[in-house]
Amino acid sequence: MHVILIAGGWSDEREVSLSGAKKIHQSLEELGHNVTFFDPAEDFKNLLAIAKEADFAFINLHGTPGEDGLIQAILDKAHCPYQGAGAAASYLALNKSASKEVFMDKGLKTPAWQLVTPTQGKSATLELALPVFVKPDKGGSSLGMSLVKTADEFPVALEKVFAMCQSALVEEFISGVELTCGVLGTETLPLVMITPKADSAFFDYENKYADDGAEEICPAPVDDSVVEDIQSQMAIAHEALGLTGYSRGDFIMTKSGEAFLLEVNTLPGMTPTSLLPRAAGTIGLSFNDLIARLIDLGLEARA
């Protein structure tokens, strides 16, 4: 097939996207596809025309555009199939506060939260007990996130988010272990446990992408009851958000074994050592197998 590999873009996560695209490009060629690389930041106005000539688009974008559904909407107009969630579901999942409303409606456990908009400004009243996380309501890779421990730090953290032209999600801090769970097709994957570096307050950008970053263990060494609970929550969240193909959810597990869903990522990192490929590998899927499976799921969803 003629496959467009869409990566890069203009979000703060551009370099992460381009880095992951290198291995995907190699994998697509090894699978026998004719690959055209496309960077929306360089040639956005030609995407519709190029997509009309392609058989499939593989999207490796993070943040906006990509996870906000814009690229998917254009591909839909071109009748070009692609992997992962559609436009509306992508936009819903990217908005953390909107996702949390869906989680709560389905009875899923998620930390208490409030949304602070730029209209309210940095003088907004904190409604939650300290400490709290303050993060962009849209975006990923932990960019713009702060752990706020004192009242004086709250307006500073809000200003940091507003500088990114974002509303701020303020979220209850829950002490525990970070776990992530992927979905591939209709199957939930083994959990990955994430242990940040000793001098890190949380799983930040450096922990995610530095060579000496967080330790990631898969399958996660947790009780079967925890695995079943998180996989169940993840399956419900995936369906409730209207996602297709694949996704990955981030959880916090307390000392008592209670797991809280933080957010769901519709375009998970796709380097061979990224969390979802790592989990897929434990069930026998090589990176090429995973790419092939995602293409099959995308063709099936948009047949």
Residue 203 sits in a domain of what CATH number? 3.30.470.20
**Shared domain check, 102 and 227:** yes
Tokens of 45: 């106005």
Percent of residues, the chain, with pLDDT higher than 70: 93
Average pLDDT, the chain: 93
Q: Please indicate whether residue 178 is annotated as part of the active site.
A: no
**Shared domain check, 225 and 102:** yes
Give a yes or no: residue 57 inside a domain. Answer: yes
Indicate if the pLDDT at residue 71 is higher than 90. yes
Indicate if the pLDDT at residue 176 is higher than 90. yes
**Shared domain check, 226 and 166:** no
Catalytic residue among 27, 60, 90, 141: 141
Task: Give 142's contacts (C-beta < 8 A, 6+ positions apart).
Answer: 135, 202, 203, 204, 205, 207, 208
**Shared domain check, 100 and 234:** yes
> Can you give the pLDDT at residue 212?
54
Q: Please indicate whether residue 269 is annotated as part of the active site.
A: yes
> Can you give the pLDDT at residue 182?
98
**Shared domain check, 100 and 240:** yes
Q: What is the DSSP string of 84-126?
A: S--HHHHHHHHSHHHHHHHHHHTT-----EEEE-TTT-TTPPP
Catalytic residue among 69, 182, 269, 281: 269
Model confidence at 80, in pLDDT bands (50, 70, 90)? very high
> Can you give the pLDDT at residue 207?
44
Q: pLDDT digit string (tens) for 254-291?
A: 999 999 999 999 999 998 889 999 999 999 999 999 99
**Shared domain check, 209 and 161:** no
> Can you give the pLDDT at residue 143?
78
> Can you give the pLDDT at residue 138?
87
204 closest CA partner among 267, 133, 268: 133
Catalytic residue among 12, 13, 67, 204: 13
Check: CB of residue 130 under 8 Å from CB of residue 151. yes
Catalytic residue among 245, 248, 249, 278: 248
294 closest CA partner among 282, 280, 284, 283: 280
Amino acid at 1: M
Q: Please indicate whether residue 91 is annotated as part of the active site.
A: no
**Shared domain check, 128 and 73:** no
> Can you give the pLDDT at residue 196?
77
**Shared domain check, 271 and 248:** yes
Catalytic residue among 178, 209, 246, 247: 209
Bridge partner list, 84: none
Give a yes or no: residue 147 inside a domain. Answer: yes
Bond prior to 272 in cis (omega within 30° of 0): no
CA distances for 57 relative to 62, 270, 276, angstroms:
15, 15, 20
Give a yes or no: residue 241 inside a domain. Answer: yes
The CATH number of whichever domain residue 61 belongs to comes to: 3.40.50.20
Mean pLDDT on 90-118: 97
Q: Please indicate whether residue 248 is annotated as part of the active site.
A: yes
> Can you give the pLDDT at residue 119?
94
pTM of this structure: 0.91
Give a yes or no: residue 248 inside a domain. Answer: yes
Indicate if the pLDDT at residue 209 is higher than 70. no
**Residue 95 and residue 226: Cα distance in Å, rounded?**
26
Give a yes or no: residue 51 inside a domain. Answer: yes
**Residue 287 and residue 24: Cα distance in Å, rounded?**
9
Catalytic residue among 97, 146, 265, 274: 265
**Shared domain check, 189 and 165:** no
**Shared domain check, 100 and 125:** no
Model confidence at 22, in pLDDT bands (50, 70, 90)? very high
Model confidence at 208, in pLDDT bands (50, 70, 90)? very low
Q: Please indicate whether residue 293 is annotated as part of the active site.
A: no
Mean pLDDT on 11-27: 93
Q: Please indicate whether residue 8 is annotated as part of the active site.
A: no
Q: Which domain holds residue 211?
A: 92-109+174-285
Check: CB of residue 156 under 8 Å from CB of residue 121. no
**Shared domain check, 103 and 233:** yes
Model confidence at 63, in pLDDT bands (50, 70, 90)? confident
Give how many domains the chain has, as a whole number. Answer: 3
Give a yes or no: residue 299 inside a domain. Answer: no
Model confidence at 140, in pLDDT bands (50, 70, 90)? low
Catalytic residue among 12, 178, 204, 263: 263
The CATH number of whichever domain residue 151 belongs to comes to: 3.30.1490.20
